[in-house]
Amino acid sequence: MKNLKTDYWEEKRELIKKYDLLSSSYDNLYGDEQREKYRLLFTNFKHFLNANLILGDFGCGTGLLEDYLSNEQIIGIDFSRKSLEIAKRKHNRSMYILADIEFPPFRKNCLDLIIMFTVIHHVRDPINLIRNLSPIIRKAIIVSVLKKTETVKLLQTLTKLFPQAKILNSQKSKDVIIVIEKTRVIQ
């Protein structure tokens, strides 16, 4: 019989290896796709573009969000050491932390927003993750969910549990973006 805890950590180790290997080519492979998601989000939520806000980029990878934004304070968190090394080389005004998004090293109310683009499907219990992250934020958690058959159930669950959440969808994006504002829907 398999040990679920051991299997889970083995899956995480494999994912870390995958993203460490991808890190040097990530921007070329996925940069345009990520920028389209940023464009979709910040076109519809201009009030999130504010130099006074502190954004947590969970699953920040190589720092593509900071490539897109120029004035905002960003704290990136990722478990791929090699991706973070690239992010740190590209940007010197943001803070990057090697950590697991399921165990973030933050106190209550220290971030205005958490952005998790193309990340949430990698965790075992995405709903629990969102609930566990809500004490850290002041305004919203923003997630993207791939428009793939495997993630349709997750997308349906998120929209059912957080009916007040705003859904952003574009033909150009491979993801659906869900904006879950703390004051309205996270309990």
How large a percentage of the chain has pLDDT more than 90? 54
49-95: per-residue pLDDT in tens?
Answer: 877 889 999 999 999 999 888 778 899 999 999 999 999 999 888 89
For residues 166 and 143, the answer to whether their CB atoms sit within 8 Å is no
Q: Report the number of distinct structural domains present in the chain.
A: 1
CATH number of the domain that residue 24 is part of: 3.40.50.150
List pLDDT tens digits, range 161-182.
888 889 998 888 888 999 998 8
Task: Write 13-22 long-range contacts (CB < 8 A, 24+).
Answer: 15/79, 15/122, 16/79, 16/80, 16/81, 19/61, 19/78, 19/79, 19/80, 19/82, 19/83, 20/80, 20/81, 20/82, 20/83, 22/83
Does position 187 have pLDDT exceeding 70, yes or no? no
Asked if the model's pLDDT at residue 24 lies above 70, the reply is yes
Question: What's the angle, vertex CA 12, arms to CA 6 and CA 13, rounded to 5?
Answer: 90
Q: Are strands 166-169 and 175-181 parallel, antiparallel or unpaired?
A: antiparallel
Q: Which residue has the tokens 């969808």?
A: 169
Domain ranges, residue 35: 4-185
